[in-house]
Structure 1
């Protein structure tokens, strides 16, 4: 049976001499693995549409254990991401996150659309966007759409909305008021400014915040909290692509 769907290529690995094994995040089927036969040949008509990040229309044949790509028509290849190693590392990071939570048969249109938006923004010049800000925005929306939204509006233990100071607990799923700190002795400090930034980014579409200038120390503070949160809830501890992006940010 042939199936038609649009999708983003998350991974492309060589498979046999001229074939590729693709991991595709599709709109209709969720995440799938598919064989693209002959795409390693120089004259393959499908080569352009099966590279990582590519957003393509696919015609798929479902086999016993794998799909086979019968046709592939690229809609957007996001080539500019590959021209800048910093953006390439960020692009690889956002794709890694999707790959970590997506499953076959589980569609997620909000996450699908979010991935398209962040890849589109990464094609823009650094003059047009604030990369660190949109990555924090992406992380927060990614967590929401994956079912792991951190609570920043009230204490996750007692529901109190006011506190002289707050702590952030990745294990508990959000902020703790001053009366509930015993719930997690390893909770992390979170300043009022960091809390306000997190809530603002949660409430705004990623396209709306693309030019928002955020102080580096404030962005770094939120980044540290979200990194721990992602490690706890996504159960993935090694984002090599993000480590590369961090090193490049320090050198830039």
Structure 2
């Protein structure tokens, strides 16, 4: 069976002497594994469109256990990401997140569009990288079914409280009367909570130039990092560790 679909290359590794083994997040097929035969050869017609991050049109042959890339036409290679190590590292982190939650053969158009918009924005010189990453994380959690609750207490549904904590284990806010539900819940300030609510309801294209203070970014990053670790069950985002050191 031959399938034509657009897709993002999440991962590419050398296979054998001249082939590439790919993980592709496609529009029509969801996440798939595919082999690009001869793609490692310098004069290969496939080489440009099978690099990590590339957004390409693929013509795929479905074999018994694996897809084979028969044709590949790059639509956007996001070259500027490769010119900045920090942006490249953050882009790698976003791709790691996508790969961690997507299921082979299961489509997710909202996640697909989010990844495309985010990678495109990250090539622009006038964006706020911290805002982009926090917004992506928030939308990512919405689209993969792990949306955190920032509007009421997850234990008693109360919408007002003198102070709040955020429980990754419980999936959202705890009011002052429910702190005992999770003794490890993190304190969250009112201003951090307002930022979280704002990012949760905004398209990433609307807020990519929004400046978030370093203090607020650190507070929300710490909270979301813990939440992602708990719910995605992935603890080794090496690209994020690198990005945060730069």
Give the TM-score range, shorter chain.
over 0.9
Aligned length: 246
Counterpart of 1:33?
33
Distance, in Å, in 1 between the alignment partners of 2:205 and 2:42 is 37
Deviating above 4 A after TM superposition, structure 1's stretches of 4 or more consecutive aligned residues are none
TM-score (normalizing by structure 1): 0.97
Please report how far the alpha carbon of residue 132 of structure 1 lies from its aligned counterpart in structure 2 after TM superposition: 0.3
Counterpart of 2:222?
224
Counterpart of 1:157?
155
TM-score (normalizing by structure 2): 0.99
Tell me whether 1:63 sits opposite 2:32 in the alignment: no
Please give the per-residue CA displacement for 1:216-239, whole angstroms capped at 9, x wherever unaligned: 001100000000000000000011
SS at match of 2:177: coil
Alignment of 1:195-214 (within 5 A): 195-214=193-212
SS at match of 2:53: coil
Please give the per-residue CA displacement for 1:127-186, whole angstroms capped at 9, x wherever unaligned: x11100110000000000000000001001111100000000000000000111111010
Alignment of 1:67-86 (within 5 A): 67-86=67-86
Please give the per-residue CA displacement for 1:31-70, whole angstroms capped at 9, x wherever unaligned: 0000000011110011000000000000101111110001
Counterpart of 2:122?
122
SS at match of 1:193: helix
Tell me whether 1:244 sits opposite 2:242 in the alignment: yes
CA RMSD of aligned residues (A): 0.5
Please report how far the alpha carbon of residue 105 of structure 1 lies from its aligned counterpart in structure 2 after TM superposition: 1.5
Q: Which runs of 5+ in 1 are unaligned?
A: none
Counterpart of 2:103?
103
Q: 2:175 aligns with which of 174, 177, 181?
A: 177
Distance, in Å, in 2 between the alignment partners of 1:130 and 1:168 is 26
